[in-house]
Amino acid sequence: MNTEKEAVARLRKELKLSQITASLLCARGLSDTAAAYDFLNPGVSQLHDPFSFLDMRDAVSAIKHAIASKKRICVYGDYDADGISASAILYKTLVQMGGQVEVFLPNRMEHGYGLTMDNVKSLQGISLLITVDCGITSIDEIEQAKKMGMTTILTDHHECPPVLPQADYILNPHRPGETYPFDSLCGAGVAFKLAQALIGDAALEMIDLAALATIADIVPLLGENRSISALGLKRLNEEPNPGVAALVQKACTKRNAEIDAQTVSFVLAPRINAAGRISTAKTAFELLTENDEEKLNDLAEQLCALNADRQQRQEKVVSEAVRMYTESGDPSASIIILYQKDWDIGIVGLAASKIAEAYMRPTILLGETEPGLYTGSARSIPGINIYEAMRSQAKLYEKFGGHAGAAGLTVKEEYLPQIARRLDGYLKQAYKEDVFRPLKTYDFEIVPAEINNALISELERLRPFGFKNEQVELLVRGARLENIRSIGEDRHAKFKISKQGREINAVVFGTSASELPKQADIVGTVSVNTYDMKPQMVVSVLSYEDTLLQRLQKAKKYLERMTAPAVSDRQIYFVPRSLLLEIYAVLKGAAERKITFSDEADVAAFIQKYAPVTEPERIVFALTVFREIGLLEMKKNDRIHIVIYTGKRELSNSRLYKMFTSGEM
Ligand SMILES: [Mn+2]
C-alpha cells in the first residue's frame, strides 16, 4: 500500500504539480495518477459512449422510426431548470432530425410534478412519448400511455422504485442492472446522452444547456458531470445558447465577467426556475429554444421579473417558518417539519433549504393543495440521505420521490405529526449527533508566503467548483490583520494578512472593519484580484477566540439591541424554562453561601461549572431574563454580590424571553 505521502510525491512528479495541489487532489480521493490527470483535464474524451445505456440502441431506433414515419412525438419534461433544459435539448435534437415534436411541461400549480394521469390522457394522437427528468415512478401513467397506443421511452435520473413502469425503453443510470458507467447524470445529462446517440457530435452544441442543468440540479460535479459542466461553461462563455446569452445580458450586472458555476447557481438557474415555480415553465423553455433576439430579450426580462417575485414569496415562507420554529419547534428534534395551508408549493423547497442551512436540520415544508392534502419539499444537510430516511415511512405518503439531498412528497395532513416523530426517530438512530453541527472546514493550511499567482492558477484547474467538488478553502492560522480599512459603506472590510514577515491582501464581506480582531485563524479562497493582478484572499471564516468577558459583553450588547430574534439566534442564545430553573438554582446557591465574584466572567465561569450550560451567550440570556423579571441583581462594589429576590415571578414578564417564545404564551 502506498502511503498518502508517496501518492502526493508521485502526483507532484508525474503531473508536475505543487505540493499543495497534489495534496488537495489526494485529499479529494484522486491519488491515482490517471484519475488526477482526467480530473485536471476534463474534456470530450471523457464523455462516455451513450450506447453503453442498456436500452439506448432500441430507443434510438424507435425514435428514428417515429421520425421516418412522420409520427407525432411528445417530449414530456418538468418545470425546473433540469427538466426544462432536458426538454430543450431533446426538442432541438428531434427538430434537427426532422421530427414532428411537441413538448409538454407540467404546470406546478395545476398538475404537480412529473407524469400525471390527466396529462397523459390529454396526449391524444401522440405515437411516441419520451419523458425527460421524470417518469421513473409513474407506473399507472405509463400503462395508460401504452393503452392509448403510445410507444414509451422513459428517460430519468431519479432513484428507482422497487417496481419500474412497463415503459418500452428506460434510460436511467440508477436502473438496476444498468450498464452505463456513470450514475450521477442529471435529467438533462441523460437527455444529452440520448441526443449524442441520435446526432453524434452535433449534440455538443447543446452541452451548455446540459451544463446549466447539471449545476442547477446539484448533482456531483465529478466524473462525466465534471466534463459536461467544464465543456458547457466554456461554451456558455464563447458561443452560448442565444436565450442564455440574453438572460446573462439582463441579469448580470458585471459586463463581460466570466460565467462560472457560481453565476449559473446564483444568477441563471434561479431565473430559469422562477418560471416554473410561480408561473409557467414555458417561458423558460422558449428562452432556451427561440432564436429571435427581440423575443429573447422580452423573455429574459420576464424571467428576471418572475425571479424578483419569487424572492419576495420565498422571504414570506422563510420568515413564517422561522417564527413557527422558534415559537414552538423542538430544538432537540433532528428534523424540522412545518406546514401552512397557504404556503406556495412552488417555493417551499427553496425556503426549506434556507431553514435546513440555518438550523442544521433536514427540513420539510409543505403547503396545502387540496383540503387535507399537503405537498412539499424536503431538503437535507450534508451527510444525511433524506431520500433513504423518508423512504422508511413510504407507506404514509400519497406520492414521494427524490434524491439523497432533496425529495418531494404529497401527504394527508393527519399523517404529518406521525411522520415527524418517526423521521426524528429514524434519523436519531441512523446518524451521529455531530452531523447536526455546522462544519468549519478547510482543505489545506498555508502561510502567506506560499500564496502566489502560480498556485492560484494551478488551483483554478480544479474548477468548476460546486457540489462534491467544493471551492478550495485555505487556512492561515494565527494571522495578523493589518491595514484594516472599511469598504462598501462599512459593510465589508479590506486588510492585509501577515504572518512570518510576509503578507497578502484580503477582503471580507459582511463584516465591518470595526468588528475585526487583530489576530485570527482565517479560512478563505484565493484568487487574483483583477484590478492589480495581485493574489488576494476572500475570507469565508474568521475565527478567533474572544475572552469569556468579550463574549459576554458582545452577547449583552446584541441582546439589548435585538428587536426580533434572527434565524440562528434561537440556537445561540435561547435557554428553555427547565434550564433557566437549573441556572437559577446555581445562582441561588451562590447567594446563600455569600460567594462573591471578581467580574461578570467570573460569574459566568461559576455557572458553567455548576449548571449544564457552557455557552456564554446562553448565560447572558439567562441572567438578562432573571434581571428583567426582578429575580436577580448583581451588586457591584469591589466585587460582585448576587442578590436573589423571592416571590412568584412570571417568565412572560421578561421582554427577552417573550421575544423568543411569543407563540407559546
Ligand atoms: Mn432533475
Q: Measure the CA–CA gap between 361 and 378, rounded to whole angstroms.
A: 11
Tell me how far the alpha carbon of residue 132 lies from the centroid of ligand 1, in angstroms: 9
At 234 the pLDDT is 97
At 439 the pLDDT is 60
Region for 537 from its dihedrals, namely left if φ exceeds 0, alpha if ψ lies in -120 to 50, beta otherwise:
beta
Q: Is the pLDDT assigned to residue 134 strictly greater than 90? A: yes
What is the tens place of the pLDDT at every residue in 608-659? 888 888 889 999 999 999 999 999 999 888 888 999 988 888 898 999 999 8
Answer yes or no: do 217 and 82 share one domain. Answer: yes
For the purposes of burial, counting CB atoms within 10 Å of the CB of 571, is it exposed (0-12), middle (13-18) or buried (19 or more)?
Answer: middle
Q: Which of 46-60, 127-141, 630-644 has the lowest mean pLDDT?
A: 630-644
Q: Which residues of 504-539 are buried (b: 16+ CB within 10 A; e: fewer)?
A: bbbbbeeebbeebeeebbbbbbbbeeeeeeebbbeb
Higher-pLDDT residue of 501 and 44 is 44
Query: Average of pLDDT values for 112-127?
Result: 93
Q: Measure the CA–CA gap between 283 and 499, rounded to whole angstroms.
A: 53
- Distance from CA of residue 472 to its chain's centroid? 17
Tell me what percent of the residues of the chain surpass a pLDDT of 90.
Answer: 73
Average pLDDT, the chain: 92
The residue length of the chain stands at 665
Q: Measure the CA–CA gap between 420 and 359, rounded to whole angstroms.
A: 16
Q: Is the pLDDT assigned to residue 268 strictly greater than 60? A: yes
Tell me how far the alpha carbon of residue 400 lies from the centroid of ligand 1, in angstroms: 14
Tell me how far the alpha carbon of residue 197 lies from the centroid of ligand 1, in angstroms: 20
Answer yes or no: do 287 and 340 share one domain. Answer: no
Domain boundary, last residue among 262, 284, 302: 302
Higher-pLDDT residue of 454 and 435 is 454
Tell me how far the alpha carbon of residue 115 lies from the centroid of ligand 1, in angstroms: 14
At 403 the pLDDT is 84
Strands annotated E in 385-473: 397-402, 406-412, 444-445
Tell me how far the alpha carbon of residue 145 lies from the centroid of ligand 1, in angstroms: 22
Tell me how far the alpha carbon of residue 189 lies from the centroid of ligand 1, in angstroms: 9
| pTM for the model | 0.79
Q: Is the pLDDT assigned to residue 496 strictly greater than 80? A: yes
Tell me how far the alpha carbon of residue 514 lies from the centroid of ligand 1, in angstroms: 45
Tell me how far the alpha carbon of residue 205 lies from the centroid of ligand 1, in angstroms: 21
At 438 the pLDDT is 63
Answer yes or no: do 406 and 532 share one domain. Answer: no
Tell me how far the alpha carbon of residue 33 lies from the centroid of ligand 1, in angstroms: 32
Answer yes or no: do 67 and 29 share one domain. Answer: no
Domain boundary, last residue among 436, 467, 484: 436
Q: 501: how many CB neighbours lie within 10 A of its CB?
A: 7
Answer yes or no: do 296 and 226 share one domain. Answer: yes
What is the tens place of the pLDDT at every residue in 309-328? 999 999 999 999 999 998 88
Query: Average of pLDDT values for 574-591?
Result: 92
At 327 the pLDDT is 83
Answer yes or no: do 536 and 577 share one domain. Answer: no
Contact 556, 525 (CB under 8 A): no
Answer yes or no: do 134 and 228 share one domain. Answer: yes
Q: Does 31 fall in a domain?
A: yes
Q: Does 360 fall in a domain?
A: yes
Residue 219 grid coordinates: 448533482
Q: Does 311 fall in a domain?
A: no
Tell me how far the alpha carbon of residue 133 lies from the centroid of ligand 1, in angstroms: 5
Answer yes or no: do 477 and 380 share one domain. Answer: no
Q: Is the pLDDT assigned to residue 665 strictly greater than 50? A: no
Range of the domain at 280: 50-302
At 664 the pLDDT is 45
Three-state DSSP at 433 gives helix
Residue 112 grid coordinates: 404537480
* Closest alpha carbon to 336 in 573, 615, 327, 345: 327
Tell me how far the alpha carbon of residue 381 lies from the centroid of ligand 1, in angstroms: 18
Answer yes or no: do 416 and 456 share one domain. Answer: no
Tell me how far the alpha carbon of residue 215 lies from the centroid of ligand 1, in angstroms: 11
Tell me how far the alpha carbon of residue 183 lies from the centroid of ligand 1, in angstroms: 13
Domain of 206, CATH number, reads 3.90.1640.30
Domain of 469, CATH number, reads 2.40.50.460
Answer yes or no: do 213 and 68 share one domain. Answer: yes
Tell me how far the alpha carbon of residue 186 lies from the centroid of ligand 1, in angstroms: 5
Q: How confident is the model at residue 545 (pLDDT cuts 50, 70, 90)?
A: low
Pairing label, strands 406-412, 397-402: antiparallel
User: What pairs with residue 641 in β-bridges?
Assistant: 596, 635
At 564 the pLDDT is 82
Query: Average of pLDDT values for 153-181?
Result: 96
Residue 337 grid coordinates: 417539519
Answer yes or no: do 513 and 628 share one domain. Answer: no
Pairing label, strands 474-487, 444-445: parallel
Q: Does 315 fall in a domain?
A: no
Q: Measure the CA–CA gap between 504 and 446, rounded to whole angstroms.
A: 12
Tell me how far the alpha carbon of residue 405 lies from the centroid of ligand 1, in angstroms: 12
H/E/C letters for each residue in 90-156? HHHHHHHCCCEEEEECCCCCCCCCCCCHHHHHCCCCCCEEEECCCCCCCHHHHHHHHHCCCEEEEEC
Answer yes or no: do 537 and 552 share one domain. Answer: no
Query: Average of pLDDT values for 144-151?
Result: 98
Return residues with CB closer than 5 A to ligand 1 (ion).
Answer: 82, 133, 187, 217
What lies within 8 Å, CB to CB, of 516 at 6+ separation is 481, 484, 493, 495, 508, 542
- Total count of domains within the chain: 5
Q: Measure the CA–CA gap between 270 and 249, rounded to whole angstroms.
A: 15
At 506 the pLDDT is 96
Q: Measure the CA–CA gap between 199 and 187, rounded to whole angstroms.
A: 18
Q: Is the pLDDT assigned to residue 103 strictly greater than 90? A: yes
Q: Does 324 fall in a domain?
A: no
Pairing label, strands 596-597, 151-155: unpaired
Residue 438 grid coordinates: 455546522
Query: Average of pLDDT values for 541-561?
Result: 81
Tell me how far the alpha carbon of residue 448 lies from the centroid of ligand 1, in angstroms: 42
Q: Does 136 fall in a domain?
A: yes
Tell me how far the alpha carbon of residue 36 lies from the centroid of ligand 1, in angstroms: 28
Query: Average of pLDDT values for 176-190?
Result: 97
Q: Does 323 fall in a domain?
A: no
Q: Does 249 fall in a domain?
A: yes
